């Protein structure tokens, strides 16, 4: 593990990394969102740049300090940043950049559902009446789509699974089920909740292959986790 920029094992490779969290509009001023900062995705993009890749970062609503990091970051010539808000925009950007990419990494927290309708005008409260329910519809699963279609032959497709253990299984049980369902080559499983994962600078992941078998383990800074994941990706590149 841990190439930390000296090894150019992604030279000549094109990679797409999605980062952050999507926002689904309720009306022109409101949205449904999530707490993803984009830190892990940006660390993946930076690690890939250091290893020689040409990178497209599809950035969905990054935390301000993460945006600042992207803007100050080195190697910008080899990094294209596409800013998106909604899942529909993220999907379009990832599919466009992914069409000729060697690797697609879905590190973004994608909203599972979106409001069925987005009115052009702000929703008003009517005095004395309760709130109108917001009908939701399911978003497309971008990772599963790309994993099953393979936008380019031999493309390596990587996902994340943020899990909490519950009565039906452990973090790893849920990760294994997800790995098999998604059809991706690699899934990085991490435990979230109780201050772990979201918004912090450290991460702890178990890397599974598409069959759900453990092929790597990494704990430490999000950059160290990123390099461990790229190590696993490099082994799978044709
Ligand atoms: N993902 C995606 N499109 C979606 C939902 C998720 O591409 N509509 C991707 C995420 O970017 C991540 C992986 O799928 O790489 C797993 O996301 P996760 O939310 O953990 O899985 P879901 O399939 O949405 O299952 P659930 O939320 O029910 O656990
Ligand atoms: Ca989800």
pLDDT attached to residue 1:
44
Q: Answer whether 106 contacts ligand 1 (Cβ < 6 A).
A: yes
pLDDT attached to residue 201:
74
For 169-201, write each residue's pLDDT tens digit: 999 999 999 999 999 999 999 987 655 556 667
| Neighbour-count burial for 208-234, b at 16+ CB within 10 Å, e otherwise | bbbebeebbebebebbbbbbbbbbbbb
pLDDT above 60 (res 5): no
Average pLDDT of 40-54? 96
Q: Which two tokens stand for residue 158?
A: 């990587």
Element holding 202 (H helix, E strand): strand 202-209
Protein residue with least CA distance to atom 21, ligand 1: 161
Interface pTM, i.e. ipTM = 0.99
> Which ligand is nearest to the Cα of residue 148, counting in written order?
1
For the annotated catalytic residues, the residue numbers are 34
CB 170 within 8 A of CB 190: no
Say which DSSP state 193 is in. B
Three-state DSSP at 82 gives strand
Protein residue with least CA distance to atom 17, ligand 1: 161
Q: 């609503």: which residue's tokens?
A: 61
CB 216 within 8 A of CB 235: no
Q: What is the pTM of this model?
A: 0.94
């Amino acid at each position: 593990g841990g190439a930390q920029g000296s090894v150019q094992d992604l030279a000549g490779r094109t990679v797409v990394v999605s980062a952050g969290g999507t926002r689904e509009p309720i009306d022109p001023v409101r949205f449904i969102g999530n707490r993803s900062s984009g830190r892990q995705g940006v660390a993946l993009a930076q690690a890939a740049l250091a290893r020689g890749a040409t990178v497209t970062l599809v950035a969905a609503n990054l935390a301000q300090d993460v945006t600042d990091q992207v803007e100050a970051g080195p190697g910008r010539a080899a990094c294209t940043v596409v800013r998106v808000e909604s899942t529909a925009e993220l999907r379009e950007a990832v599919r466009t950049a992914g069409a000729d990419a060697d690797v697609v990494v879905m590190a973004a927290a994608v909203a599972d559902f979106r409001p069925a309708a987005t009115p052009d005008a702000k929703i008003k409260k009517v005095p004395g009446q309760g709130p109108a329910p917001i009908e939701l519809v399911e978003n497309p699963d971008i990772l599963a789509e790309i994993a099953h279609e393979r936008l380019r032959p031999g493309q390596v497709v990587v996902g994340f699974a943020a899990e909490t253990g519950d009565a039906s299984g452990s973090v790893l049980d849920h990760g294994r089920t997800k790995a098999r369902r998604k059809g991706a080559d690699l899934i990085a499983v991490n435990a979230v909740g109780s201050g772990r994962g979201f918004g912090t600078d450290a991460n702890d992941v178990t890397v599974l292959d598409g069959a759900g078998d453990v092929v790597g383990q990494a704990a430490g800074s999000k950059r160290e986790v990123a390099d461990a994941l790229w190590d696993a990706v490099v082994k799978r590149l044709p």
